[in-house]
Amino acid sequence: MSGAPAGGPAVGVLALQGDVREHVAALTRCGVRAVAVRRPEELAEVDALVVPGGESTTIGKLAAEFGLLEPVRDRIKTGMPVYGSCAGMIMLATQVLDGRPDQPTFGGIEMAVRRNAFGRQVNSFETSVELAGLGQVPAVFIRAPWVEKVGEGVRVLGRVAGRIVAVRQGNLLATAFHPELTGDLRIHRLFVDLVRATVTPTEE
């Protein structure tokens, strides 16, 4: 893996489905080099990864087809920072309560999530979420999951109507909502700060 590029770390956005351009734009505004990741060789060139929203079963299937499933799992095990939004949260879960029996995920966060827990597309909504350390953050929920239980190593960062919608475990961060659609950069900045604290640039 390459070290951080000049000016800061390289953050990949998994570009198989979802709001890829919006995440790239938000990360760029946070001062890092953001690049689309579709193949293992592209994953090897980044220091961290964002897994955007979309459809979790499709993302899992495409990740396997593109040869990314095991490389991402391996990078997570060795400490790569990853942020997942909406379907990305599902992809980081160790248990999907209502997923397909053969549904692959990256895992990493000790949590059980429920897909489409807030309802289908017609039940999408916007609200604000009180996030630990960030205050009230605008949030867009689209066919969003929620977290039903977490392991001892997981920190709950935010809830909506009593349901867990934001968590962190070590270098892994996940939200049930889409901050990339609001223009508020605080969650992306939180992740970028995590990445910068984790990545040690390689000396040229």
The mean pLDDT of the chain is 90
Residue type at position 192: V
Residues taking part in catalysis: 86, 178, 180
Q: 120: Cβ–Cβ under 8 A, 6 or more apart, which residues?
A: 143
Helix, strand or coil, per DSSP, at residue 64: helix
- What is the value of pTM for the model shown? 0.92
The residue written with tokens 């895992």 in the block is 107
Proportion of the chain above pLDDT 90, given as a percent: 79
Instruction: Write out pLDDT tens, residues 50-72.
Output: 999 988 999 999 999 999 999 99
pLDDT band at residue 120 using 50, 70 and 90 as cut-offs: low
Task: Check pLDDT > 90 for residue 18.
Answer: no
